[in-house]
Every structure is written in structure tokens, then in C-alpha cells.
Amino acid sequence: MKRKKHQRTHRVVLAGAAGLALACTGAAGLAVAASGPGHGHGQGSTRPSASATTGDACDGTLSYTQLDISATASTNTRHVAVADLDGDGTQDVVAANLDDNSVTVLLGQGDGTFATGTTYAVGTHPYQTAVADFDGDGSLDLATADFGGAQVSVLLNDGDGGFGAAGALDVGEAPRALAAGDLDGDGNADLVVAEQGPSAVRVLLGNGDGTFDDQGDTSTGSQPHGIVVADFDGDGAADVATASVGSDGVSVLLGDGTGALGTATDYATASRLYSLAQGDFDGDGTTDLATVSNGSNTLDVLLGEGERDLRDRRRVHDAGSARRGRRRGP
């Protein structure tokens, strides 16, 4: 296994954090937002907390200042996302409040601090938020996976970082995660939803006006808990990958460019996967995957091979051990 040495490790301890997001925030440098049940779970005191650099660039020279942000009185904020929601060039934060059936939007003020949060009602038990421009007006909108309600809530941006009443889309049971991407290449943002109940991913093709066409379910590994959209085989069409909490593996479903997904190919990993991230981690130009295991406290990195041959390009291998990919389904 190849290992790259890192010059420096930065560690920030956030007790009980379950979600984490990082972003360069212009003059404020790097902002860190974290969330989790450990912050007073069940005591009505959970809130997103944030730290920011005191430097003026994201150059790896970091010092942290703890910012006490009381974003919400609700409990159990499970996920945070970072995006510029009001278009002022400064990154903002949106927190999904699992037990308050709401999201809280914290607008960044450009100096590492955030304005008082504004909370918007969504469906039952929102577990994760995805950010994209669903109505094509140039402002980023929000969608939540409402775990308890078998719904996805969509909140459209008014252009200033404010959001209207949530619209609801019915999906499969126990949606745990969702991601935005353009599955059919029409320029409109689409959604993919990881459904823990049926162990499937649902594709919702965006019409570009904030509405979606439901394309139905495609099976994944057992109980998907994380989901990403990226082009894993390099054919220009968006694909989907999910991380399973129930079957110790990552499923890759190749898109055909029309919004349809092929049969999942599963890759074995450590147990109880809770989240999934994509990126080119080894710099070879192909898309890789990283997933963390709640069961064994490990990080699995799956490096994409990206060959054009169909059989080869379905392969992803585990950076830490021999390839264990196997074809799923009949």
C-alpha cells in the first residue's frame, strides 16, 4: 500500500460530533461546522458549533477560534452542509435537525462568524441535506432526506438565502441520505435518495422548475446510509454510489445518461458504513471513494481504475488490501 506523508496534521476535537463540513470562506479562511448527538443529546441543547481560522487564507496555516453559535434550541442536529446560499461569496451552513423536523440556515458574515440562524420546517426526522439549484434561478436550494416520513423536502431559495415553505416528495421508506447531480445530462439538477427500508436508491429527475419526476428504485446493498453522485467510469454520464450499514460494502450503480441506473456492483469494506465521500484522492484523474465505518472505526478508500472497458471500469479496489469487488444481482 502506497502511503503519502503529510507535512502536518491538524486535529480539532469536537466531542460527540456526527457530521463535519469544511470550507474556505474567503477572508475568513477555513470554517469548520460540526453537528452531532453528543452535544447535549436529549437535553434540548444540541446546536451546531463552528470554528474558524484567524488567518486570511486556506494555506494550511491554521489556528482555531471556537465560535459559540446557538443556531437552534432543537435536539439532535445530525448533518451540516456548506454552500453560499445568499450569493454574497461567503460560505453559509445549513444544519438538519433530526428531532425538530427542521433545518437551520446560518449565513456567514465573511469574518468566520455567522448571523443568527433561521429555522425552516421540513418533513419528519430530516437526516441529511443536499444543496443545488433545483429551479434554475441561480440560487442554491435545499432538499432533505426525511428519515421518519418517507419523504424528501424541497425548499426553494428566494435569492437572498431565505427559503419558502417546504414541498414534499414521497419516496421509499426511511430515506437516510441524498445527493444532487445531473443524471440525465439535461442541465437540470436531479436528486438521488438512499432508502434504508427497501435498500434501494431512488432517482428523482429535476424538471428545472423545482419539481421532479420519480424514476423509481434500483436495489443497493443492505440499508444504504450514504450516497454520492460522480462519474466513476469516465464515460461522461453521472453514476451513483452508496455505503451500506447493513451489508458491509459500497455499491456502485452506473448511470446510462438518461437517468436510469444499472445493476449495483458491490465492493466489500469494513462493517457498518455511515457515510461516503467521492474525490480523486490519488490524483490519477479517476474518481475514488472513501467511507468510514462506525463498526470498526476505520476509513476505507476505494481507488477508481477508470478504464474504458466495461468489465474493468466496474472495478474499484480497496487501497489497503486485495480487491474484493463482486458483481451484485442475478
Cα separation of 301 and 313, whole Å? 17
CB closer to Ca ion, 195 vs 233: 233
Contact with Ca ion (CB under 5 A): which of 99, 135, 248, 266? 135
242 beta partners: 227, 251
Contact with Ca ion (CB under 5 A): which of 195, 233, 288, 300? 233
Cα separation of 118 and 319, whole Å? 42
Nearest to 105 by CA among 133, 75, 140: 140
Return the residues of window 182-211 that contact Ca ion according to CB under 5 A.
182, 184, 186, 188, 190
User: H or E element: which one contains 178?
Assistant: strand 175-181
CB 187 to Ca ion: min, Å: 7
Rg (CA), the chain: 19
CB 3 to Ca ion: min, Å: 29
Contact with Ca ion (CB under 5 A): which of 25, 53, 139, 287? 139
CB closer to Ca ion, 110 vs 197: 110
Cα separation of 21 and 93, whole Å? 9
Please give the torsion angle defined by the CA atoms of residues 232, 233, 238 and 240, in that order, rounded to the nearest 10 degrees.
-50
Size of the site for Ca ion (CB under 5 A): 21
Query: How many Å from the N-terminal Cα to the C-terminal Cα in the chain?
Result: 33
Query: 10 Å Cβ neighbour count for 114?
Result: 23
Backbone dihedral angles phi then psi of residue 306, each to the nearest 5 degrees: 70, 10
All residues at 6 or more sequence positions from 164 whose CB lies less than 8 Å from its CB, including other chains: 155, 156, 158
CB 294 to Ca ion: min, Å: 29
CB closer to Ca ion, 260 vs 299: 260
CB closer to Ca ion, 88 vs 217: 88
CB closer to Ca ion, 186 vs 217: 186
CB closer to Ca ion, 224 vs 304: 304
Q: What is the DSSP string of 63-109?
A: -EEEE-----S-S-EEEEEEE-SSSSSS-EEEEEETTTTEEEEE-B-
Q: Is 215 in the site for Ca ion (CB under 5 A)?
A: no
Cα separation of 135 and 142, whole Å? 11
**Residue range at the interface with Ca ion (CB under 5 A); choices 45-53, 62-70, 87-95, 278-286:** 87-95
Q: Is 141 in the site for Ca ion (CB under 5 A)?
A: yes
**Residue range at the interface with Ca ion (CB under 5 A); choices 23-31, 72-80, 97-105, 226-234:** 226-234
The site string for Ca ion over 269-308 (x = CB under 5 A, - otherwise) reads ----------------------------------------
CB closer to Ca ion, 150 vs 205: 205
CB closer to Ca ion, 88 vs 246: 88
**Contact residues for Ca ion (CB under 5 A)?**
84, 86, 88, 90, 92, 133, 135, 137, 139, 141, 157, 182, 184, 186, 188, 190, 231, 233, 235, 237, 239
